[in-house]
Structure 1
Amino acid sequence: MPAEEEYTFEELVLWRPPEPETGESAAAAAASPPAPADGAEGSDAAVPAPDAPAAPAAPETPATAVSVDGFLCRWLREHQREGVQFLFDCCMGLRDFDGMGCILADDMGLGKTLQSIAILWTLMTQGMDGRPAVTHTIVACPVSLVTNWESELNTKWIKEARLRAKGIQVIAVAEAKKEDVLKMVRRFTTSPSAVLIISYETFRIHQKLFKKGQQCGLLICDEAHRLKNKDTKTAQALASLPTRKRILLSGTPIQNALDEFYSMVHFANPDLLGSEKDFCRQYQRPILRGREPDATDKERERGETKSSELGKIVNQFILRRTNTLLSKHLPPKLVCVVCCSMSQLQTQMYRQFLDSKATRLLVNGGKQSMVLESINSLRKLINHPLLVSEKGKASKGFEDAIHLLPDETISDRRSGSRPVFDPSLGGKFSVLHQLLRYVKATSSDRFVLVSNFTSTLELMERMCMQEGWKSCRLDGSCSIKKRTQMVEEFNDPRGGLFCFLLSSKAGGCGLNLIGGNRLVMFDPDWNPANDKQAAARVWRDGQKKRVFIYRMIAASCIEEKIFERQLSKEGLSGIATNEDVEVSTFSSSQLRDLFSYHEGVPSHLYDKIKDDADAAERAPDGPANSLDEPSPSQEAPLRQQNGWPKETGDMHLWAHHSTASSVDDEALRRATRHSSEESGGVSFVFSLHVKGKDLKKARAEEEEERRRQAVEDAELAAKEKEARRLQSSATPSSSSSLPPLPPPATALGGKENSQPVTLGGSKLAFGKRPLHALGRRGPALPAPKAGPGAAKQRAPPSKAKAKQRRRAVDSDEESEEE
């Protein structure tokens, strides 16, 4: 049940008409043409088809205020109200920039979809001139989110009845045949008012269909970082739409570089930042140069100046809030970067790969394609040694190391049989296995396991099958229907799924997996945005438990350096919100040094940032106490968390642990007890407490709500019982000859029939009688009336006659039903 504050709300007025003018100014205002409406030249409005009915004339009555309808406004939190106002101002050209597009760049979980639906509904039902500002809206999104958007509109927020009452059709196009796509797009373009939800791929294929009939008045692009390359066919197809009202939704507006950020800004508001060449010369180069460790003071100053200048421009149409706003509404969260040492087998194979002649040639200037292939081979080895052997054949670069694998772990290529999977051969897999076993045995918590490699998901699936843990797997091969079924089953508290295996690229965006409260990111991605998207799947609205995020990193090898590279890319995202951007800790040459291996070092990253951690001034506040119950197994960390730092970057302000025994997570502490030098284990941990609502207080409120509901149910049941008693004691004349009701019996399957039973045109409230108490033949027939000879007892009918009577009654009942 929603909290009380969600039911009480203030009206959200987005725009009020100006006060009426007098004298000459009023005459001048009356003579001036009104603002272009939907479909007029210079607007992004719909263009009616040649045979479409003429638009109604503008109302003579003055325009009324534009406000968000109460059924939506009641659910908007404060930051969402601000977001809806921002979207309205941008789309209606009320802000100080040349354009009508905007980017809502809130962190995952802050309700970008709800804010978009609120502005969509408002613009399609209201306008500044008294008419709807928009008649046709296109929502472009990944194929996996099409049905989600449809249900959010039709079922969750607006409802089908309201949409029908306003004459708005909602048309969803996903995984449809060409003929079906043609029909649905034709419905959209010929309808007076409609919302089309379509995947990026489908729109790209059928973009020519949108050049006829009604055009798009509002374009919403979900997961808009798909448009980071302006030269892709998808971006070009969407950019060709004539609308200027464009809303881009992305929790990660800057992913890899500033040129990708430019592409998104250019899509939202074309030419606002000039040409790409001008942007690179004026902003990109000085900003990036000023962030290098060897930059001069003058270069740093110029970079900061350009960054501030760019921030002031884009902040007119970009709104970004971090998920720290969720701390008042969601449970606390513990984020752990778990550095794991490799197993002895992995270390041997890793060394042999680095010492090979082929690797030395790569490091000294090999082809780019071969370098990437070798990097992926090493990443697979780090996940588990079995991944470098496919059906007994070694991956490229491991031909001389394949003999190190135990014979019993290699599948027989002739028979195709698969041996028993041994998690202890991989350092990270060994820790994961022990963590899952402990949590499964001691709590009702459930896991989301995320990987960039489907081959790694296959090993996770084998491990779950061997342990008897029920799991499901979502990757690129899953249909939309199957995705929806898996998500619903996992989020069902009564479901039996323990692990949800997720491909970061196929399912990292938009999924709501609040059925789990522990998420493991098994391998880092080169693009930090992919990891951020995946990590946000469980800490969302509806989560009731404390959340644990584990980022597993193989220590002091290529994987930890990929993570270091992520940290340098995260520094760019501050430019979008004009935040302070810290100087990159690592130079470009250091980041390219991927093939070195610092054996025996617990964490290569910690060695780099420990001096910054020592020099950092202690913040006055921070997590003073453990969020777990005190445990004698918990030791003091190497360094306490300094204040409340950000989840991205600021690693020198996180808590640092030389062993897992000092981490605020009993499950992780217990999981490391079984580690050994042979199988690897946890070598170092960075942990971060993220504020959340008071769980004890929230549980007490929920318990009080359950008690109150139980009292209400008991009172209602007592009233129903008393009503049944009064009805049964009454003797109406029309039913005075009825025999007493048979005693209640246990219903089949425990189900009961609470519907009144009709007999002879009158309703008899039998209460909750079991279904089979009424029998196949319906209620009992009335007793014969008293009369001459009635006292004479009749002989019981024969079995044949009784059977014949039952058939007659059955036949009559069937005729009645027909």
Structure 2
Amino acid sequence: DSDVERDSERERDYGENSDSAASIFACEKKKKKKHKEKKEKKKQKMKKDNGDKQKTSAQLAKDWGLEDVDHTFTEDDYRTLTNYKAFSQSMRPMIAKKNPKIPMSKMMTILGVKWREFSSNNPFKGSGAAAVAAAAAAAAIAVAEQVSAATASPSPEPPPGDDVEEEDSEQEDSSVHSSSVRSDSSPRVKKNKRGRPGDVEVDGYETDHQDYCEVCQQGGEIILCDTCPRAYHLVCLEPELEKAPEGKWSCPHCEKEGIQWESEDMHMEFCRVCKDGGELLCCDTCTSSYHIHCLNPPLPEIPNGEWLCPRCTCPSIKGRVQRILHWRWGEPPDPVPVPPATDSPPDAPPPPPMKGRAEREFFVKLAGQSYWHCTWITELQLEIFHSVMFRNYQRKTDMDEPPSLDYGSGGEEESVKSEKRRLKDPDYAALDDKFYKYGIKPEWMMVHRIINHSVDKKGIYHYLVKWRDLTYDQCTWERDNLEMPEFVIHKANYWAHRDEVMKEAPDMPRRMRSMRMEENEDPHRSPVNDPTIKYEEQPDFVTATGGTLHLYQLEGLNWLRFSWAQGTDTILADEMGLGKTIQTIVFLYSLFKEGHTRGPFLVSAPLSTIINWEREFEMWAPDFYVVTYTGDKDSRAIIRENELTFDDTAVRGGKKREAPIKFHVLLTSYELVTIDQTSLKSIDWACLVVDEAHRLKNNQSKFFRRLNDYKIDHKLLLTGTPLQNNLEELFHLLNFLTPNRFNNLEGFLEEFADISKEDQIQKLHDLLGPHMLRRLKADVFKNMPAKTELIVRVELSPMQKKYYKLILTRNFEALNSKGGGNQVSLLNIMMDLKKCANHPYLFPVASMEARKTASGAYEGTDLTKASGKLTLLQKMMRKLKDQGHRVLVFSQMTKMLDLLEDFLDFEGYKYERIDGGITGALRQEAIDRFNAPGAPQFCFLLSTRAGGLGINLATADTVFIFDSDWNPHNDIQAFSRAHRIGQANKVMIYRFVTRASVEERITQVAKRKMMLTHLVVRPGLGSKAGSMSKQELDDILKFGTEELFKDEIECELLSSILWHLLMWDGRRIGERGKDRGRAGGGWRDIRWKNARIGGGELNMRGSLGS
């Protein structure tokens, strides 16, 4: 109660003793509001007056009775005083010397006007200088009106400019708090600062002081009382003061009536380092407090005058941190000597110096800058400027021990290689010490190519660099004088290529012109070879690459050149592994080298093969400028802006068709041909190459329809399986090639309705002859190791039998209500049966009931026993490992690959994995690791679809097809990854088929599709291929069930169940295989009907546990 009474009494005394109504603290807010409105009107009036007529500095000085400073600026002044802050620091002392008592507001106004005059007269500035100066002067005048703290830094807030952005924050943080040493329970003991900002409106800053003078009731430059809310002009005090007093200052009212108000201290009550209280040293510009012994280096005694804490004196980072690469312990600061105590005897030994502590340093990659500019920053810098990133890094990283050095990939083998190379190459050793050992790959610091250039105001060239193994969105601008290996060579190549494309390069640097090669004659102006004449031996431009073509590849090159000369679009259908990629690249290169065309060529391929295409182009066509058009939208935007043409305005201005094309080959994926068709179809393509062209087997696909909108002179399709399911797919390929000739699907199918007749087969071969070339490995490689495929029949495990029966006998009425919703097709049930044949853990119920290890993986023994396939695989892989073989395992289901990973971990095998979710770069890295000499990986897990396209794994000699694909060609593509050029061993292919199950019947159906290929593409006998009939699907579902159920229900009852399952609405049958399911069936929809057997309903569920 006594505290409350004392406070109320203090307020009452304060109100009674006030000399004016404005000094009543309770009315202060109202007065502030009125005064601000008044000032706003005054400010607008001043702006209007200034807009009508701007006075010179000489006129202002004359009006105010001041002595003008007539200073003649030199050329050096104009070069060095490039911003307002530097100009102010140079000019202010001159004005103050001639006018010692000039008020601060007038000083700042005159400085602003003189800066405007200085900038407008600057001969080294552009036309925009006057506008900038006017803005700066206006800013200076506005600040002058708002100044209210006599002790704040006399410099006005600098105007926006090139060199002052970083200084703005420092200016705003100018002294608003006083330096003090204090105890956690006592008020300030020492105060060095005199005033506080009054009306300077800074976000987040509030003050209880009035913003006008207590005597004259006017605003302007005022000093604030430290012991009450009053403020005064220096000239309004009696006696008048010439400058703001040092230390803690009380106004005349407080001196007369006594101190009745103490400003609130916002400083931290604890040390920022140790979080403890006690006697603390307070920063003058922020709220931080420290023990003097907690500072680094520690302070031996309390400093005099103004003191800034480490956070306020921390230098800024030269950019925004994008990524933290590594951290280490830095060197501790030098010891600080301690002065001897005043009362110590003269002969006393000096006290030991105070030692600092080592602090963490972080190696960071800066955003928008290359890895060449990675730098070390302190922990304090990271904490201040990137606090969220720092906290996240702390949570994920051990902050007691620095991470181990990983040399870019984290392997001991890489470390050994690095040490060997360090001994041979001192340049590499220097880069290794500075970059590589902290996780930066050498490729990230190698120039792939220069894609653009610019010139700054000083005439310095900057180059936009694309780095190896990094995407286009990580391109960076580098100065011309950057010291980097082969940078000069890449600059010369850039200008040479630009000169070739543009025919002239007026903006080329003079020293680059001198480096241009003498033989700059265009070799492509007139053809030097007739493409209809065969090459009897490998051409010189191929030999120059260091590669050698096989004889059949040279024949393929001749056939492609001849077809191009005849205007015949073609399908290169060599069996997988015969080098279709190389033949295609050499064909395009021959058109370029022989002078027939310089492109551009469009190559569309699966994402997983694009990196391989890049490598082959570098090997077989070194003079080609190949652009890989992949990546996210930012990467593709950079490619469109910089790689399509040298004309920077061509893309934005829609002039790509007129502008000369910069590249020779554009590599891209199927999806981007569709997504970015607007940009790509505006280019006239000399040739289109589609890898894995069976993607075009459906003329209703987006890829097929969008490609038909492109303007293409010649088309070349690559496929190892030209015919996969039926003749309709072959027709669509031919329709894409030559739509004028192949445009009647009905007629084509009718003409070759009976493909079993010899004359029909011969007629089809004659039709395909000009368009298709196909060779088999058996034809061209007599000595190539053979491949043997064995079908391994596997028994169901007890758990698999249990789930197999459940799938067949569960009541299906709940899934097929009378309302017609939630229908389940036969193919869904068949997919569940295939899952069961693989592993029961693929069902949620079995998965949740299974035992797991502490890491979350399935318990290995239970995992293996639950599947008949996995039990057999375990036995076979142990023998293969002992005999030194290497294994590929293919499965259609990525979840099955997850189970196989747990199995391989349990067995202790090292492995790699590729599925549809792994991007092209990661795929290629996994392939390279597996193919590396002496690689420890024993097994490679692949999904049948994602891992079967353009991947070379010839270092493996054993293939397991864990589950067969509906389309046998996908399985063929899969095991062809191992049986290809470079294979030295006999290839064994084991196809797992669960006995007496749907899998066994599916394998039989697949054989018929293989026969169709044999008939159409190669001579032979067989039958017509068509869609899977109802009877075939019935056979598949019923296959093996009699044996499964023979001990439990009669075969007749089972047949009745399955017959009802296979009933469907005949009106919904699709014609000619429209919208066929995965089984290739000829219907679009299947209607279930309820089957009542023996008065009871049997349910059939499509998926368990779902």
Aligned match of 2:664 in 194, 197, 200? 194
Instruction: State the aligned residue count.
Output: 502
Question: Do 1:312 and 1:578's aligned partners in 2 also have CA atoms closer than 8 Å?
Answer: no
Partners of 2:737 and 2:824 in 1: CA distance? 34
Structure 2 counterpart of 1:500: 940
* Structure 1 residue 62: Cα displacement: 9.7
Aligned match of 2:616 in 149, 152, 165? 152
Structure 1 counterpart of 2:1078: none
Structure 1 counterpart of 2:899: 459
Structure 2 counterpart of 1:140: 604
1:535-564, CA deviations, whole angstroms, 9 ceiling, x for partnerless residues? 101111122222111111112211111111
Change (3 A) 1:150 1:585: closer
Partners of 1:204 and 1:153 in 2: CA distance? 24
Question: Do 1:493 and 1:515's aligned partners in 2 also have CA atoms closer than 8 Å?
Answer: no
Partners of 2:899 and 2:939 in 1: CA distance? 13
Aligned match of 1:268 in 737, 742, 752? 737
Change (3 A) 1:239 1:114: same
* Structure 1 residue 321: Cα displacement: 1.6
The answer to whether 1:234 aligns with 2:703 is yes
Q: Return the index of the structure with the highest Cα Rg.
A: 2
The answer to whether 1:171 aligns with 2:627 is yes
Change (3 A) 1:170 1:530: same
Change (3 A) 1:416 1:544: closer
What's the secondary structure of 1:497's corresponding residue?
A: coil
Alignment-mate amino acid for residue 157 of structure 1: W
* Structure 1 residue 110: Cα displacement: 1.2
What's the secondary structure of 2:1011's corresponding residue?
A: helix
Partners of 2:643 and 2:746 in 1: CA distance? 37
Question: Do 2:841 and 2:847's aligned partners in 1 also have CA atoms closer than 8 Å?
Answer: no
Partners of 1:391 and 1:329 in 2: CA distance? 49
**TM-score in terms of structure 1 length:** 0.57
Change (3 A) 1:508 1:428: same
Question: Do 1:315 and 1:578's aligned partners in 2 also have CA atoms closer than 8 Å?
Answer: no
Partners of 1:271 and 1:588 in 2: CA distance? 33
Partners of 2:801 and 2:937 in 1: CA distance? 34
Partners of 1:57 and 1:465 in 2: CA distance? 57
Alignment-mate amino acid for residue 75 of structure 1: T
Partners of 1:149 and 1:258 in 2: CA distance? 30
1:195-245, CA deviations, whole angstroms, 9 ceiling, x for partnerless residues? 111111112111111244x52101111111111112211122222222231
Structure 1 counterpart of 2:560: 87
Structure 1 counterpart of 2:840: 385
* Structure 1 residue 63: Cα displacement: 6.6
Question: Do 1:217 and 1:245's aligned partners in 2 also have CA atoms closer than 8 Å?
Answer: yes
1:63-74 matches, cutoff 5 A: 67=535, 69-70=539-540, 72=542
The answer to whether 1:102 aligns with 2:564 is no
* Structure 1 residue 258: Cα displacement: 1.6
1:25-66, CA deviations, whole angstroms, 9 ceiling, x for partnerless residues? xxxxxxxxxxxxxxxxxxxxxxxxxx9769999759997967
* Structure 1 residue 134: Cα displacement: 4.7
1:258-286, CA deviations, whole angstroms, 9 ceiling, x for partnerless residues? 21111111112223223223323333xx1
1:64-463 matches, cutoff 5 A: 67=535, 69-70=539-540, 72=542, 75-93=548-566, 100-126=568-594, 131-154=595-618, 156-158=619-621, 160=622, 163=623, 168-176=624-632, 177-183=635-641, 186-187=644-645, 190-191=660-661, 194-212=664-682, 214-283=683-752, 286-287=753-754, 301=757, 304-325=758-779, 327-358=781-812, 370-389=825-844, 407=849, 409=850, 418-420=858-860, 421-440=862-881, 442-463=882-903
Question: Do 1:314 and 1:576's aligned partners in 2 also have CA atoms closer than 8 Å?
Answer: no
Change (3 A) 1:144 1:370: same
Partners of 1:261 and 1:308 in 2: CA distance? 16
* Structure 1 residue 418: Cα displacement: 4.3
Partners of 1:470 and 1:219 in 2: CA distance? 41
What's the secondary structure of 2:585's corresponding residue?
A: helix
Partners of 2:836 and 2:524 in 1: CA distance? 69
Partners of 2:739 and 2:985 in 1: CA distance? 44
1:529-540 matches, cutoff 5 A: 529-540=969-980
Change (3 A) 1:66 1:335: closer
Partners of 1:178 and 1:191 in 2: CA distance? 17
Partners of 1:359 and 1:548 in 2: CA distance? 46
* Structure 1 residue 430: Cα displacement: 1.1
Question: Do 1:311 and 1:575's aligned partners in 2 also have CA atoms closer than 8 Å?
Answer: no
Gaps of 5+ in 2: 1-500, 505-521, 647-655, 1045-1106
Partners of 2:960 and 2:530 in 1: CA distance? 54
Structure 2 counterpart of 1:723: none
Partners of 2:583 and 2:529 in 1: CA distance? 28
Question: Do 2:1012 and 2:1023's aligned partners in 1 also have CA atoms closer than 8 Å?
Answer: no
Partners of 2:527 and 2:871 in 1: CA distance? 74
Alignment-mate amino acid for residue 565 of structure 2: M
Question: Do 2:1015 and 2:1022's aligned partners in 1 also have CA atoms closer than 8 Å?
Answer: no
Question: Do 2:575 and 2:777's aligned partners in 1 also have CA atoms closer than 8 Å?
Answer: yes
**TM-score in terms of structure 2 length:** 0.42
Change (3 A) 1:179 1:513: same
Change (3 A) 1:273 1:575: farther
Change (3 A) 1:416 1:487: closer
* Structure 1 residue 376: Cα displacement: 1.2
Change (3 A) 1:143 1:380: same
Partners of 2:1025 and 2:896 in 1: CA distance? 31
The answer to whether 1:566 aligns with 2:566 is no
* Structure 1 residue 391: Cα displacement: 7.4
Partners of 1:193 and 1:535 in 2: CA distance? 36
Partners of 1:474 and 1:57 in 2: CA distance? 42
* Structure 1 residue 493: Cα displacement: 2.6
Change (3 A) 1:199 1:585: closer
* Structure 1 residue 349: Cα displacement: 2.3
Alignment-mate amino acid for residue 147 of structure 1: I
Q: Which has the higher contact order (CA 8 A, sep 6+)?
A: 1
What's the secondary structure of 2:1037's corresponding residue?
A: coil
* Structure 1 residue 504: Cα displacement: 1.2
Structure 1 counterpart of 2:1040: 598
Partners of 2:771 and 2:527 in 1: CA distance? 33
Change (3 A) 1:243 1:368: farther
Work out the percentage of aligned pairs sharing the same amino acid: 30
Partners of 1:91 and 1:115 in 2: CA distance? 14
The answer to whether 1:546 aligns with 2:986 is yes
Partners of 2:960 and 2:570 in 1: CA distance? 34
Change (3 A) 1:573 1:62: closer
Alignment-mate amino acid for residue 568 of structure 2: M
Partners of 2:716 and 2:891 in 1: CA distance? 31
What's the secondary structure of 1:259's corresponding residue?
A: helix
Question: Do 1:106 and 1:319's aligned partners in 2 also have CA atoms closer than 8 Å?
Answer: yes
What's the secondary structure of 1:358's corresponding residue?
A: coil
Change (3 A) 1:60 1:458: closer
Question: Do 2:542 and 2:586's aligned partners in 1 also have CA atoms closer than 8 Å?
Answer: yes
Question: Do 1:354 and 1:595's aligned partners in 2 also have CA atoms closer than 8 Å?
Answer: no
